[in-house]
Structure 1
């Protein structure tokens, strides 16, 4: 007989019929179950009081990093938020005897909610005039040096053309910088 999942109410029904005096062969033929299944359900019922055993307490893969090591990592990040993964790897190897790869350590930290974020200045601390001046000089310099920092071609037609560079269709073949509205010619 092939393996099939039998519901717990059908197992209970089989045991009740057997206890009511039905012959084992009759119960097995009516419910189309094997005799060994009937004996196994009776044994599980005697042991646990239910026809289904409780789930195993050992589920899933064992974790490489235990709670003590994770607490230590959280303390390290609280004191030194710019610690690198190789430093954490070294600390775990020396102090906790845990050998773990950097990719597994990163995955464990992400699962624990300890992600690394790029630090930026708060918007209120930014100097908008200096930022606008830098962006203007960066755009104009990239146009003069024939490098394009914006995406001109993409893999999919859903991307719109970048707003900072607009290629003009003029007789000189130049491009225009929309930040300063100046026209640069001669290199297209």
Structure 2
């Protein structure tokens, strides 16, 4: 009779995971990035930042603190997003792939989602007295959604271990060994 303390057989599974990162380290202009989802989102963010800034600037009350805050949020978002878009278009992000670009962009997009919520809410309140602020609030809320969605995409990319630009191929191989009972 078999001993009750030991199983009839023993199975051992070994999983080996290897990842291969493929990047091109030469700087080149590639306008096809704009046709990707992250590229389109960046273009939309730039346009929304610029439209919100213009709306506040043409109002007669751009000097009040609410207008200045909205202008600061819009212009900082415009310049940061524009510079990052240029880095992607020229594959500089791919050249320096060891920099955690997705984490940097995630933090910026998450913070800018919050900043646009505050700025657009303040502009919407002022929009009761000034129509330009109301229009800026609309573009601010749209910008908040765009930055929030971009932050979500960056977060899922970070969790999946994706690169900001370039390819990472992950290969998994498993081997199973079954030992007979003795």
TM-score (norm 1): 0.21
Is the helix fraction higher in 1 or 2?
A: 2
Greater radius of gyration (CA):
1
What TM-score do the two structures reach when normalised by structure 2? 0.22
Higher normalized strand content (fraction of residues) = 2
Identify which of structures 1 and 2 has the higher relative contact order when contacts are C-alpha pairs closer than 8 Å and 6+ apart: 2
